[in-house]
Amino acid sequence: MQCLVLRTRSTRALDRINSLAHISTRLFSTSPSHLRLKQVPQLSSWYKPEFEKKAYIPALPARLPRSATQIAPASSKWFIHDANHRLNIINDKDHTILTPRSSELRTSFWSQHESITVPLELTSTTPDRGESFNRVEDAPLKLLLTYLSSNSPSTPQHSIYLAQCDLSSLPRSITDDIPTPSLLQPSSAIKGDIYASSLWLGRPPTYTPLHRDPNPNLFMQLAGRKLLRLLPPEIGNAVFEDVQNHLDHNHASANIRGDEMMAGPEKLALHEAIWTDDPSVNRYADVLATYSLETEVELGDALFIPKGWWHSVKGVGEGITASVNWWFR
């Protein structure tokens, strides 16, 4: 009886996907490797009325343009940036913003904070036991700093990631360098209630699985690069439910970054569902091509993720990747 119930739930989820998508089986006119997903639209400025009208009120994802006045002081105080820059130079009035190829820790800043404790995610891969994941809530920051300073290879057997570290738990000598954007101050549309805020610091490949947030989210990149894919609430609900049913999971929560989402079969299934574009491998590839949005953020870029929009995040490229976000109402 239980198997019948699971198959019924899975069928319902697929029916929801198909009814919402109206996808042709011959959607791809080019090979999957050349698939280009729709990009998150970018606003023309940080002008608050435009943000509210085009993004916040209609609950649509949007990028905010790189602006010298909006880049957090942390980007220059915490990191040393490669002198060799990418070609995408952003002219911002009287400022020229160069995007570094990579960034590393500024030792003179971080050495002052080695003794504080932070939440760290530890991932290990061994031939005999596969991948394991463990989150330690009160680990010494020095452990992370030592790992990040070692210039670990891009595919390490062991990785350490500062993930979802509550800003209120950090000393002011750190939080003063990442002030809350004026965009989130109270207005007729925004209450100005910062529900929570977090710092993220690691070395690629970092990863956050498919999930949704219970509140709107403003995400800002301080250093390095991250790639994000997003799905509308209804589509994301259907994909997540279908993945869980195929794994025989009945009580998964998409609002909790649980251990089961960070290693093992569930991590693999969610990763494939969102990041594999080949329809011969990924049963959701057509859904991604029709409904998903993609964007890559670099130093100074910001992204608005509306409440309920599903998203997955990957750290990519070289050097350190660092981000901060604010969940607000």
What residues does each domain of the chain span? 2-328
* Cα 168–Cα 170–Cα 171 angle in degrees, nearest 5: 115
CA dihedral angle for residue 324, residue 225, residue 304, residue 219, rounded to 10 degrees: 0
C-alpha span between 197 and 52 (Å, rounded): 20
Q: Give the per-residue pLDDT at 258.
A: 59
What is the CATH architecture of 2-328? Sandwich (2.60)
C-alpha span between 214 and 329 (Å, rounded): 10
Q: Give the per-residue pLDDT at 214.
A: 92
Which tokens go with 101?
Answer: 């190829």
Per-residue pLDDT of the chain (329 residues; tens, 9 = 90+): 433 333 455 456 556 665 555 443 333 334 444 457 999 999 999 999 999 999 999 999 999 998 888 999 999 999 999 877 654 545 555 456 678 889 999 999 999 999 999 999 999 887 777 788 999 999 999 999 999 998 655 455 789 999 999 999 999 999 999 999 999 999 989 998 999 999 999 999 999 999 999 999 999 999 999 999 999 999 999 999 999 998 876 545 555 455 667 778 899 999 999 999 999 999 999 999 999 999 999 999 999 999 999 999 999 999 999 999 999 98
